[in-house]
Amino acid sequence: MALLLDPVVVRVPATSANLGPGFDALGLALTLYDEVEARVTTDGVNVEVTGEGEGQLPGDASHLVVRAMRRAFDRLGEHPAGLALRCRNRIPQARGLGSSSAAIVAGIVLARALVQDGAERLDDVAALALADEIEGHPDNVAPCLLGGFTIAWGERGRAAAVRLEPAEDVHPVLFVPEVRGLTEEARAALPKTVPHADAAFNAGRSALLVHALTSAPGLLFAATEDRLHQGYRAEGMPLTASLLARLRDEGVAAVVSGAGPSVLAFGTGGWTPRAVPGWRVLPLDVDMRGARLGGDLG
Ligand code: HSE
C-alpha cells in the first residue's frame, strides 16, 4: 500500500499573472494564501470550505482541488477509495488572483504528499506540466508552485518555468473589486492577430520588466506598459480600466492582475495607497516559497 493515511496540509499563494506586458508568461506569487488539509478515507468524497467561496464551491468530487488530486493520483498509479478535505480560503475568487491555479497546485501537491515517493515520482517539473494541462495557461500555476517571480513557457507541448528572485524594494498592492470576472470572457475579448509594432513593443517591455523586477524597480513604470491585452479588455471591465488609468496618471506602476478585474500596483519609492470606495486594498509582499506542505490548518 503506497498511500499514506495521515492527513497533510498545504498552503498555496495567490498569484498575479501577465504583470502588464508578459501575457501568459510572467507571474508573481503574493503573501495571501489558501490552505487545504486532505486525508485518504475508505469511501466517498467530502470537501468543507470556509472563507472565500464558502457556500458557493461544491462539497463533492467536482471540487477543483479534488479533480486535480485525481489527475495527480492517476499519474502516480494510485486510486484512493475516498478523500476528506478541509479548505480555508483567503484568495478572492474570479478576480484575476489565481484562485483556480491555487486549487490545482494544492491538489497536485497534496496528492503527491499522500503517496509514498510521490514527490520523487511527480517532481516540480512534472507537477508544473500537469498543473498547466489542467489550467490551460502556465503563468499562474508557475509562481503558485515555485514562489517568487516566474517566467513560464511551453516547449514541445509541455509547460516549463524559471523562478527569479524579485528585488527587495518591490511591494505589491492589490486592489480587489466586488465584481467578478471570467477568464474565458476576458480571453474571448482578445483579437486573433495584433499589429507587429504592438508585439515588438511588448517584447521590449517584457524584457525590461524582468530587469526592473529583479534589480531596477525604478524602471517598473515603463516596464509595465502593455499593448496586447489590457486595452482590448477595458470595455468589459470599465471600473478596472478607470482605476488603472487613474493610478498610472499618478505615476504608479499599475497593471490588470491576470485577466482582471483586480488591479496590481507596485509600491516603490514611498508610495502609499489610498482607500478606493468599492475596492479592497491589500498591501502585500512577494511570496518567496510557493506551495508549502506542513503545519496545521490556520
Ligand atoms: N494570462 C492569462 C490571461 C491569465 O490574461 O488570460 C489568466 O489569469
* pLDDT at residue 1, as a whole number: 55
Per-residue pLDDT reduced to its tens digit, 31-72:
999 999 999 999 999 999 999 999 999 999 999 999 999 999
Residue with cell 509595465: 224
Domain span at 106: 8-164+289-293
Q: Whose CA is nearest to atom 5 of ligand 1?
A: 259
CATH number of the structural domain spanning residue 244:
3.30.70.890
According to the model, what pLDDT value does residue 272 have?
A: 86
Is 96 close to ligand 1, i.e. is its CB under 6 Å away?
yes
75 & 181 share domain: no
Predicted pLDDT of residue 296: 82
Pick the closest to residue 28 from 260, 229, 284, 231 (CA basis). 284
- Residue 18 in contact with ligand 1 by CB distance below 6 A: yes
25 lines ligand 1 (CB under 6 A): no
**Angle, CA of 290, 62 and 258, to the nearest 5°:** 40
- Cell 478541509, residue located: 86
In a domain, 298, yes or no: no
Q: What is the pLDDT at residue 297?
A: 81
DSSP for 200-255, please give it.
Answer: HHHHHHHHHHHHHHHH-GGGHHHHT--SSSHHHHGGG-HHHHHHHHHHHHTT-EEE
Q: Are residues 180 and 145 in the same domain?
A: no
With beta carbons less than 8 A apart as the criterion, state whether 101 and 131 touch.
Answer: yes
Q: Which residues of the chain fall short of a pLDDT of 70? A: 1, 269, 298
Please check whether residues 112 and 143 belong to one and the same domain: yes
* Ligand 1 centroid to residue 284 C-alpha, Å: 21
Distances in Å between the Cα of 148 and the Cα atoms of 13, 143, 172, 196, 267 are 10, 6, 12, 31, 17
Strand 82-89 and strand 45-51: the pairing is parallel
Domain shared by 230 and 141, yes or no: no
| pLDDT at site 298 | 62
Are 91 and 154 part of one and the same domain? yes
Domain match, 20 and 118 both? yes
24 lines ligand 1 (CB under 6 A): yes
Looking at the structure of the chain, the number of domains it has is: 2
Beta strand ranges found along the chain (DSSP E): 8-17, 26-41, 45-51, 82-89, 149-155, 158-164, 171-177, 253-256, 263-267, 279-283, 292-293
Calculate how far, in angstroms, residue 132's C-alpha sits from the geometric centre of ligand 1.
Answer: 12
Domain assignment of residue 2, yes or no: no
**What CATH code is carried by the domain that includes residue 80?**
3.30.230.10
> What count of other Cβ atoms lies within 10 Å of the Cβ of residue 239?
17
Do 181 and 216 fall into the same domain? yes
Shared-domain flag, residues 130 and 211: no
Q: Kindly state if the Cβ of 187 falls inside 6 Å of ligand 1.
A: yes
Residues 117 and 193 in one domain: no
Whole-number pLDDT of residue 108: 98
Closest protein CA for atom 1 of ligand 1: 24
pLDDT number for residue 183: 87
What's the pLDDT tens digit per position in 98-144?
A: 999 999 999 999 999 999 999 999 999 999 999 999 999 999 999 99
21 with 156, same domain? yes
pLDDT at position 207 is 98
Whether 277 and 155 map to the same domain: the answer is: no
Ligand 1 centroid distance, CA of 114 (Å): 30
